[in-house]
Amino acid sequence: MMKLGKISPLAFSRMRQRGISIAALNDLLARGQVERQADGAQVIYLDSPAPDPSRVSRPAPRLYAVLDAAGEVLTVERRVRLRG
């Protein structure tokens, strides 16, 4: 479990543009899966829960954040992954 530290101005701007709240970022850091990079950076991601049958044909959102080696949030993004 990670705690929210410093957020870069770019990350904060992107969060506002994409409608991602501080609460969502906190949840991501608390429950997300961590992928460590060779340079010390971390990619933390949270896949959406399993869809109910009525949403099978809709894309699933995926939230992720990129943190530098010091733990500063560099960017936050929502991606859409189409199910095949």
- Chain segment 63-77, per-residue pLDDT in tens: 889 999 988 999 998
Mean residue pLDDT across the chain: 80
Report yes or no on whether pTM surpasses 0.75.
Answer: no
Residues pairing with 67 in the sheet: 42, 73
Euclidean distance between CA atoms 62 and 45, whole angstroms: 7
Mean pLDDT of 46-66: 64
**pLDDT(79) > 60:** yes
Q: What is the DSSP string of 64-75?
A: EEEE-TT--EEE
